[in-house]
Chain A
Amino acid sequence: MPIDVPIVKLTGASKHFSGTRALEGVDFLCRTGTIHGILGENGAGKSTLIKILSGVLQPDAGTVEVNGETVRFSNPTQAAAAGIVCIFQELSLVPDLSVADNISISAPPRKFGLIDRRAQHRRAEELLAQIKCEDVDPNSLVRELSLSRRQMVEIAKALGKDPKVLILDEATSALTSRDVETVYGLLADLKAQNVASLFISHRMQEIEKLCDTLSVFRNGQHIETFAKGAHSEGEIVKLMIGREVTAHYPPKPAPAEKPEYLKIDRLAWEGQLKGIDLCVGKGEIVGLGGLDGQGQKELLLGLFGVLRGLDGDIAINGQPCHPASPAQAKSAAMRIALVPEDRKTEGLMLAMSIADNLLAASYDRISDGPFINPDKARQAVAEGIAKLQIKVASPDDIVSTLSGGNQQKVVIAKWLMTDPDVILLNDPTRGIDVGTKQEIYKLIRQLADRGKTILLYSSDYAELIGCCDRVVVMYDGEIVSKLSGDAITEEAIVAASLNVGTQASTAAAGAHHG
């Protein structure tokens, strides 16, 4: 058998969506037993590529070959039957079914034509054990699981299909670092079993560490495929965005004592927040670090009035405040804004226009009495789009037609329109391209310079280090470490996240202050 027949081969593949090209004449191949990284900004065509490979989309032109045979998948089932299995960035789990149901959903074990629940349960346990997720109960509903657990269930589900080509589309973005390690180990095992993995990630370190072959896409075209190490990190970034990136993060101002603005005192909720004490100064950016699911999101939601039964005190500018709802939190008395974690469900109304989304939080500013003033509305929309340089054809276009990065800009612009004093950001750069990320970093710094109080949660340590004046690390609902200035290092954050050696890092931070 000739080893040289690639498992997957695309020739001249093109795909257009109503005038815009998503892929243009792409030749691409992938071999068994490799971990193949795919790099590119959002809109570079990576998603379209994997959607074609996994049968969600059909190419307008060009051919797809699997193992040397030309195929045409009309749905994901056919692709899975050919051994191509995709773990999607947007989860493909059904929330109201159990974990076991989900894992075996497309081909459940059957007895007399009916689904054999016991066999299905066993299968779920085996697959979960394979990715070290024994803590997930196969009987629990997917709805009840955290985002990171759901992602692992998604991986178990894909493994259950016995893939020859496994596609991971940002599959690690929501995972805890322990799970990420498990996934790395899993990919190495699969490689040994001659499975090809296609790995899409925005985290360069991840790709560098894991992949043996890299392909760069830009603007719907395949730029280059090369072995790892053939290009330096800088060169790769250059290939991706076609220009050299010099400064990743805007410069930080010299550390200075900021007047205290947001004060959180003994904040507790439902065992997920255990007495949080935190002060954020006016014009200061404080980062929230730690592993996923240690209470960071709950802290932000609590400050924004989403949680019921919150204990403890919150004061803004010395005034005690207890927002009972997001509507109160954004009111003139508090002026809080939250850029939520999931822009597709909590950030945007996907089926509505860009203009309607931008205005959604600030109707009181553009209305005369009960009526929306169209002139003010138009002006506000134009300002919002200009301020964040959102790339739109027309503000009346549906917001879901924008790329991920521009969608996120719409969410941020929407909240800036309310002229907030306290800005809470929940992982604002997740799943968006490098260029937009940098614009957002710059914007965050500008907002701080204009005296806004900013609390930033990020799952990317480099972002915390690059953007924040201070970083607090949370572990199991508590703040275990407060870092500032030069004490904000990757080691310190990682150590605190794992709750090891926190004494030392807190002491170091304290010493720095003193």
Chain B
Amino acid sequence: MADIRSALATNMRQNVAFYIAIAMLASLYLVYNLMHPRGFSAAVLIQNSNESVAIIFLAMAQTVPVLLGGLDLSVGAIMTLANCVASVVVNGSPGQIVLGMIITLATGTAFGFMNGLIVVYGRLQPIIATLATGAIAIGLALFIRPVPGGNVDGDISWALTNDLYEFVATYGLFDADAAWFKPIAWIPVPLLIVVVIAFGVWLPFKRTVTGRTIYAVGSAEGAAFMSGLPLNRAKIAAFTLAGFFAACGGLYLAIQTSSGNADITQAGAYTLNSIAAVVVGGTSLLGGVGGAIGSMVGALILRVISFYFRIVSIDPLLQPLIEGLVLLAAVSLGAFRTLQVKNRLNLFR
């Protein structure tokens, strides 16, 4: 018992930033719902989840290169590319739709893999390599979809952007009004997708040697090398996984909007917001500390803050200014820890 308690205390101490982020998200969302005229309703929850999926995936994508100690400036562009690919291939028979989704995800994953190869074998700094490949991804996206448009299957669009009830009813999987289904029928499908991918992909990955090597590289690359860890494999895997998560975001965006749009401004904004979400979620930009689950929470915090603008009457012109201030305040929370450091040398370690 005492053992478990001390292990728990160790865990709390080592993940303070993550727990602070969770507490912050919970209180922000609670207050939001209290202030919202239709707060605590399924409709609000579904709408909010829909609007959060893309940035959550991008934040998770950004997390992996950041853990290495790098930055991936191409995640927004890969999302845009996947979005455009999906707008072409995700339609037709159910089999074709599934194939189309696989092609979309494979495109982003392959692009991430290429990023990894360039960083490892081209011996380039990730930030500059991905700045270039990001432009290439946008170029490809524009080539595929010079003007916004596309025809994503309507059923899948409806089924994946609503609650479980609609999902089951759309495809007639079973009787959606069954009594046993009632307690979970309200869960928004987008929320489920995010949680399943975050916990189904990230957590197992973190427990592989490759995953652990990513942390080791970000923390002390020399020590990782001396321990005989697979450095190159880990770096390539990190960018590949980033490509996969970014493609998930792009695919969802296509399903949500039923179209593709090679929007350069949007790609850039998503990339920068993904970095903000990673930091708010407790991942160190120096590498080695943090994780994708934290980034998911960080992305949600950023989204909830922007939701507030809808229910509080603020001049839209002031919105970016206020968003900036709030973001600054949010990341400053992480800096409070440094005030408690009694040995100043530890600030630099």
Contact = CB atoms under 8 A, between A and B. Distances in A.
A105 B219 contact: no
Contacts of A106: 227-229
Contacts of B6: 137
Contacts of B311: none
A113 B208 contact: yes
Interface of A: 56, 75-77, 80, 88, 90-97, 101-102, 105-106, 108, 113-115, 117, 137, 139-141, 143, 157, 269-270, 298, 301, 306-309, 325, 345-346
Contact of A137 (B10, B341, B349): B10
Contact of B342 (A75, A76, A309): A309
A137 B10 CA distance: 10
Contact of A108 (B204, B212, B288, B344): B212
17 contacts: A56-B226, A75-B228, A76-B225, A93-B223, A94-B227, A95-B219, A97-B219, A105-B229, A106-B227, A114-B208, A137-B10, A140-B10, A143-B349, A307-B342, A307-B343, A308-B344, A325-B344
A139 B7 contact: yes
Given A106-B227, A115-B209, A139 B10 contact: yes
A91 B215 CA distance: 17
- Tell which of A90, A91, A96 has the most Cβ of chain B within 10 Å: A96
Contact of B226 (A88, A108, A114, A140): A88
Contact of B345 (A91, A137, A306): A306
A196 B288 CA distance: 35
Given A139-B7, A306-B344, A92 B223 contact: yes
A309 B10 CA distance: 25
Given A301-B345, A306-B345, A307-B344, A94 B207 contact: no
A80 B228 CA distance: 9
A88 B224 CA distance: 13
A139 B11 CA distance: 8
A102 to B, nearest CB: 8
Nearest to B218: A96
Interface in B316-343: 341-343
Interface in B283-312: 288-289
Contacts of B218: 96
Nearest to A112: B204
Contacts of A309: 342
Nearest to A342: B345
Given A94-B220, A97-B219, A141-B14, A76 B208 contact: no
Contacts of B75: none
A87 to B, nearest CB: 10
Contacts of B343: 298, 301, 306-308
A76 B344 contact: no
Given A108-B209, A139-B7, A76 B226 contact: yes
Nearest to B208: A114
A215 B91 CA distance: 75
A91 B7 CA distance: 26
- Tell which of B7, B212, B343 has the most Cβ of chain A within 10 Å: B343
A88 B228 CA distance: 13
A97 B215 contact: yes
A427 to B, nearest CB: 15
A333 to B, nearest CB: 19
B200 interface: no
Nearest to A157: B227
B222 interface: yes
Contacts of A298: 343
Given A76-B227, A80-B228, A105 B222 contact: no
Contacts of A157: 227
A75 B228 CA distance: 7
Given A325-B344, A345-B349, 12 more contacts: A77-B228, A93-B223, A94-B223, A94-B224, A95-B288, A95-B349, A96-B219, A96-B289, A97-B215, A115-B209, A306-B344, A308-B342
Interface in B194-226: 204, 207-209, 212, 215-216, 218-220, 222-226
Contacts of A56: 226
Contacts of A139: 7, 10-11
B216 A105 contact: yes
A67 B329 CA distance: 63
B344 A115 contact: no
Contacts of B229: 105-106
Contacts of B289: 96
A303 to B, nearest CB: 13
